[in-house]
Amino acid sequence: MSSRRVLIVGGGSSGWMTAAYLDAVLNGAGQDPVDISLIESPDVPRIGVGEATIPSINHILSAIGIDEIEFLKRVDGTYKQAIKYVNWLDGQGESYYHAFGRYRPGPVDTSALDWLMSDRSIPFSETISAQPVVCDACLAPKTLGQENIGARFTYAFHMNALKFADYLCEIATSRGVHHYLDHVTDIEMAENGDIGAVHTRKGIRIEADLFIDCTGFAGLLIEKKLGVPWVDCSQWQLCNRALTIQVPYEHHYPGYVRPNTLATAVSSGWIWEIPLQTRRAWGYVHGSEYISEDDAEKELRAFIGPLADEFPARLVPFKVGHRAKSWVKNCIAIGLSAGFIEPLESTGLYLSDLAAVMTTEHFPYRGDMEALAFRFNRIMANRFYEVLDFINLHYCLTRRTDTDFWREVQRPERINDRLKAKLAFWRIKPPSLADFEDQFFPGQPDIPLQSGGLAGDHRSPVDTAGIFTLSSYEAILYGMDFLKAECDQWFGSARPSSRVQPGIARRLQLAPTILPAHDEWLKHVVGMQDYPTTR
């Protein structure tokens, strides 16, 4: 069988993750049936504001064959065990966690029902996971020796996205992926309507059987050449800007490295705090209709304090939505060219990860792409709207009325129809595993996807909990005080105290004695510099 030729146009994290993963999976047996090339322009700046991931990143690292410790060293990585949300409910300093791990006591898990029937004196997340307390203590998810704390903690990573892309480039090219550092000047079409080749500034013509568009929001192939339209989802996601500031530890080191992302709700959106081995980064994700760039920067700097005074702020605009189809003809859009949802749950790289995995599972060895694209597009659309629902959930349950932004996100037209149906059903019956069979609930309208004039599967998307499971929904719902009034009605107002699962209590008793501080683990194992604490 002759080699199939794949050309990835665009680099960055998405491009090089796709290249490395496709090569590892499709050419892993050593037969090299797929010839993979990547071209990236020296004229296009890389965003590189830092990156937080979700636990699925561990699959792609394992498939590529990346050692975790080496990975952490190469990308200034730190562990991420959870996201801590502050000020999302009332704006009065309240907080809750979306932790990645959950303790299940047996074949029938009644943890959520037990908590709903209690007085809620302990936050829900702390009754089903040790990780909120571990994160508050800034402990690592691993020991320095062979001590046993039971089942391993579930985690993801914080990392320098630019260094991650460079590391993947090094791995992929060492294994045979061709790398062109050149600017695409023209795209040549074949007689059948497929893309035939790209032409570059240096006069090179590169042919391929399959083209992958990783050119970001520009959509050089998928939009500018094939004309596939963008489906705007900003009705349900009001944020469209991120203003970022990075402060190196040489300037200020707080004396700890959080093992979690911090997401604090402020006047017109929220501010992330992401720690790496060399710096802390803050980003104000906000809606440009609700705050000016100058005021957003003032609010961000006031939030960080004087330690940020010497460092510039960088504005990163984005748009929320997706291509009507990610795979059209012989072109697959991956990364920002395919779609984007704001970074609240760190799903940017996940959608690229998923697209790379789905490309290998639907790879067109024989060139017959139509049926493969049909299924690929359905899977990606389902997963996009699953993420959209979940991000939408974080906003719509707020009780904040202090600014126009927080009043607006609660309006019915800002809550998408799928999420409305879920919430209405869950006010009758608390969420359970059965609800994630296909997630089509009473009252949910059966609205077809926008087709963009393209053939394919346009059925209303369904949520199969491929990324955000029952545990994820429970964390946000109960962190945002969902069903409080209903529980008073169902179970009465005088209810017993909340209790921590015995298995969680045992882990918390052990944790301080055998889990090191996160920064100490990083210093001992991956060589993080020992910075003096700034007072």
Confidence of residue 484 (pLDDT cuts 50, 70, 90): very high
Q: How far apart are CA 89 and CA 480, in angstroms?
A: 6
Instruction: Give the CATH number for residue 370.
Output: 3.50.50.60
The pLDDT, as a whole number, for residue 502 is: 87
Task: Give residue-wise pLDDT tens across range 342-397.
Answer: 999 999 899 999 999 999 999 999 888 999 999 999 999 999 999 999 999 999 99
Q: Is the confidence at residue 32, as pLDDT, over 80?
A: no
Domain tally for the chain? 1
* β-pair partners for 52: 158
| Mean pLDDT over the full length of the chain | 94
Give the residue from 345, 351, 341 showing the smallest Cα distance to 272.
Answer: 345
DSSP string, 9-52: E--HHHHHHHHHHHHHHHSTTS---EEEEEEE-TTS------EE
% the chain with pLDDT above 90: 86
Residue with the bigger pLDDT between 2 and 25: it is 25
Tell whether 81 is covered by a domain.
no
The pLDDT, as a whole number, for residue 48 is: 59
Tell whether 459 is covered by a domain.
no
Tell whether 154 is covered by a domain.
no
Residue 517 is given by DSSP the state B
Tell whether 201 is covered by a domain.
yes
Tell whether 419 is covered by a domain.
no
Planar angle of CA 298, 302, 307, nearest 5 degrees = 115
Task: Give residue-wise pLDDT tens across range 158-169.
Answer: 999 999 999 999
Planar angle of CA 70, 54, 429, nearest 5 degrees = 155
Q: How far apart are CA 194 and CA 367, in angstroms?
A: 12
Catalytic annotation, residues: 80
Confidence of residue 535 (pLDDT cuts 50, 70, 90): confident
The pLDDT, as a whole number, for residue 320 is: 96
Q: How far apart are CA 338 and CA 380, in angstroms?
A: 9
The pLDDT, as a whole number, for residue 148 is: 80
The pLDDT, as a whole number, for residue 51 is: 85
Tell whether 84 is covered by a domain.
no
Q: Is the confidence at residue 462, as pLDDT, over 60?
A: yes
Confidence of residue 49 (pLDDT cuts 50, 70, 90): low
Tell whether 72 is covered by a domain.
yes
The pLDDT, as a whole number, for residue 2 is: 67
Give the residue from 357, 348, 385 showing the smallest Cα distance to 274.
Answer: 348
**Mean pLDDT (whole number) for 89-104:** 93
Tell whether 200 is covered by a domain.
yes
Residue numbers of the domain that contains 208: 4-76+159-233+323-383
